[in-house]
Structure 1
Amino acid sequence: MGIPTEPIGSIPRPPELLAAMSAGDPVETAAAQGAAVRDTIRRLEEIGSPVVTDGEQSKPSFATYPLAGADGLGPDGVVIPFEDGHTRQLPVLTSGPFRYAVHAQDYLRAALSHANVPVKQAVIAPSALSLLYPSDGLDGYPAKAFRDDLVAEAEADIRGCLNAGAHVVQLDFTEGRLSLKLDPSGGVLDDFVALNNQVLDRFSEAERARIGVHTCPGGDQDSTHSLDVDYAGLLPKLFQIRAGNFYVQLASESDPERVLGIIADHLPASARVFVGVIDPIDPRVETPEEVRDRVLAAAARIPVERLGTCDDCGFAPFADDTSTSREIAFAKIRARVEGTALASTQLGL
């Protein structure tokens, strides 16, 4: 068995789905989403991906899917600035109790009905949803009550996917690196890590072996929100999260050898790290040989039995992001799968 390789999550939506979403017809949108999920899984399997996802074809975004149709929310939440000047804005909680309106197992069950190989399911980390609570509080709904509700909902989201048959559940934790840009002291990051561990502590060791955490500097409209933040401030704390797998953006780093050294120094003994070998923002399609060399560089620092590969980030974490074409995304994924196989062969695996 060679080095494992997994997608991170989102893949650009096909034109038919984007058109249906723009038209606003819920029946047409649901039909287009179903067709897009089938096509995504079929194409990933044809590429030879040993693990597939639904490409998040039915999610409004990787971060806000639990809120679709939820009550008690206003539009004026935390603003996330990107390097090119555009922003994304979260909603804000206006009343409690906090409940997920959608759980990720619904997406997973649809994907499983089409897949012939293991299916991975991405969920939003509870730390990201903690940003929904207003800084000045809510009358009749204290922060502790919100946190308790959030922990219970996040546990249910993860557990539902594990019970439904997910190969692995991935917590998207892009806010981790961003937090160090907003609070260089690291206090917010410490709070995020503690909250995520509060959820993960509700799972057994065997269950946590099927749970992973993904970090990246964001990737939206070919721009990032925190690539300028030094990984040395994030990774040691990231690896304190009690998960069995870590998915770390690496291909777009300016000094990947330095980052590999930090990973090697801090990766928990029982965990596997999937290093990013594909840059979704770069329009150029990597060759399998480039991917092979990136894998071999990682294998020189990290034991191969604790190593995997992935894409740096999703290709379209927000449904309206068309900065990368669907065809380029699949070509890059093919290069990752083939390049990882080449490295596995060269390493005698």
Structure 2
Amino acid sequence: MVWIMSIPTEPIGSIPRTRSLRVALDEHAAGRLSAADLTTLQEQATAETLATLEQLGCPVLVDGEQSKPSFVTYPVAGLTNLDPDGAVIPFADGHTRQLPRLASGPFRYRTRAETFVRDARRHTDRPLKQAVIAPSALSLLYPSDPIAGYSREEFLRDLADEAEADIRGCLEAGAHRVQLDFTEGRLSLKLDPSGGLLDDFVALNNTVLERFSEAERDRLGVHTCPGGDHDSTHSLDVDYAGLLPKLFGLAVGNFYVQLAGEPDPERVLRIITDQLRPGIRVFVGVTDPIDPRVETPEEVRDRVLLAARYIPVEQLGTCDDCGFSPFADDTSTSRELSFAKIGARVRGTELASRALGL
């Protein structure tokens, strides 16, 4: 069943990989499965994901990042000029994720997200959204000590060019929306409470975004959350008040803001109200991927109606707080639970639209 709604609703990106795909990834890493066989299973998982989202009535689909190793490393996976000992990101439950480190220049993407758009398009004619990693996140790959013969300034110029090409390729491949994942924005205030690092991140991202026309930026968005992984976060304890005013300085037409998992959603909505400007849309999170309980459509409806008290309905949308499995090896949330929450988001948003007389 396809729901027709006045308030738009979109997923964020990742969905837990199918069981067969998780097994295949382990087999491939151990050298017991060919790259071609892995690709076949990734394509099958993508087709299954798209079909399920369509059955749930989602007006905008995603491939669930079934072919990505993670939301952040997909452009650089397989590069030979990386070392594994890069920046470490600690999570509240004690586990960590470690980024690779650029060992030599020049910096180039090995995989562009447009390939995922084109692969998904073979399985559906519905509007497709593609998440890409923000250049600010990849700027963390450059080490603190300069690379001989390849300065940080050269790296940032190359990074901006690569990020532009990544986004532009998705638009040209027909993506309905291209969303920059910017989870490092909130984290930056933990790393540098002065806000200087966040200012650098915003400036770098805008260096790329300002290369696009106004019409193109209407199809671009940015997502912020406190980084969900293994049912934990890296920056939920960082006050949104320090991030949101600078986040809304990014040159995009759409903002996807984690809200359902916030301890005081109404306070966040008041901050958002102060940042609203004409021509943008704010998608508020109405389902929490970390919460194992499935929200009811009525609960989602009430969250949307609360948001509509602060955000004009013509500028309001809904989303999930975060991706459900940003890293391929994260099995803390099942596919079944993820799809149930997505279904509640779609139905609850429709209920809210009706309650508002739309």
Query: In 1, Cα distance between the equivalents of 2:40 and 2:24?
Result: 9
- Picking from 288, 313, 320, the partner of 2:322 is 313
> Which position in structure 1 is the counterpart of 2:198?
189
* Mapped partners of 1:294, 1:305: distance in 2: 16
* Residue 216 of structure 2 is aligned to residue 168 of structure 1: no
User: What runs of 5+ residues in structure 2 fail to find an aligned partner?
Assistant: none
Q: Secondary structure at the match of 1:151?
A: helix
In the TM superposition, what is the alpha-carbon distance from 1:190 to its structure 2 partner? 0.2
Corresponding residue number in structure 2 for 1:117: 126
Runs of 4+ in 1 over 4 A off after TM superposition: none
Q: Which residue of 1 aligns with 2:215?
A: 206
Task: Tell me which residue corresponds to 1:13.
Answer: 17
Deviation readout 1:135-184 (Å, 9 max, x if unpaired): 11111001110000000000000000001100000000000000001100
Which residue number in structure 1 is paired with residue 286 of structure 2?
A: 277
Which residue of the other structure, out of 212, 223, 247, is the alignment partner of 1:238?
247
Cα deviation, 1:21-72, whole Å, max 9, x if unaligned, reads 1111123221111110000000000000000000000000000000011121
Q: Alpha-carbon deviations, 1:228-262, whole Å to 9, x = none?
A: 00000000000000110000000000000000000
Q: Which residue of 1 aligns with 2:37?
A: 28
| Residues in 2 aligned to 1:112 and 1:75: alpha-carbon distance in whole angstroms | 34
Structure 1 CA distance, aligned partners of 2:137 and 2:180? 10
CA distance in 2, matches of 1:295, 1:284: 18
SS in 2 for 1:29: helix
SS in 2 for 1:202: coil
CA displacement, residues 287-339 of structure 1 (integer Å, 9 cap, x when unaligned): 00000000000001100000000000000000000000000000000000000
Q: CA RMSD in A?
A: 0.6
CA separation in 2, counterparts of 1:206 and 1:15? 40
TM-score (structure 1 length as normaliser):
0.99
Match 1:81 to one of 64, 87, 90: 90
Instruction: State which of 52, 55, 72 in structure 2 corresponds to 1:63.
Output: 72
Alignment equivalent of 1:37, drawn from 24, 46, 50: 46
Please name the residue that 1:178 is paired with.
187
Deviation for aligned residue 1:270? 1.7
1:340 aligned onto 2:344: no
Q: Do residues 2 (structure 1) and 6 (structure 2) align? A: yes
Structure 1 residue aligned with 2:59: 50
How far residue 113 of structure 1 moved from its aligned partner, in angstroms, is 1.2
Alpha-carbon offset, residue 269 of structure 1: 2.0
Letter in 2 for 1:239: F
Find the aligned partners of 1:140 and 1:154 in 2 and give their Cα distance: 22
Match of 1:268 in 2: 277
Amino acid at match of 2:23: A
The offset of 1:112, in angstroms, is: 1.1
SS at match of 1:56: coil
Alignment partner of 2:274: what SS? helix
> Paired residue for 2:264?
255
Gaps of 5+ in 1: none
Structure 1 residue matching 2:59: 3-state secondary structure: coil
CA–CA distance in structure 1, aligned partners of residues 10 and 285 of structure 2: 10
Determine the C-alpha separation between the residues in 1 that align with 2:229 and 2:341. Answer: 17
Q: Within 2, Cα distance between the matches of 1:52 and 1:31?
A: 21
Question: What SS does the corresponding residue of 1:212 show, helix, strand or coil?
Answer: strand
* More displaced stretch, 18-27 vs 49-58: 18-27
Q: 2:301 aligns to what?
A: 292
Equivalent runs, 1:81-160 vs 2, <5 Å: 81-160=90-169
Tell me, in whole angstroms, the C-alpha distance in 2 between the residues paired with 1:299 and 1:111. Answer: 33
Q: Any idea what the Cα deviations from partners look like across 1:73-104, whole Å, max 9, x if unmatched?
A: 00010000000000000000000000000000
SS in 2 for 1:66: coil
Q: Which moved more, 1:209-218 or 1:110-119?
A: 110-119
User: What is the CA–CA distance in structure 1 between the aligned matches of 2:284 and 2:38, rounded to whole Å?
Assistant: 34
Q: Distance in 1 between matches of 2:7 and 2:105?
A: 45
Count, aligned residues: 349
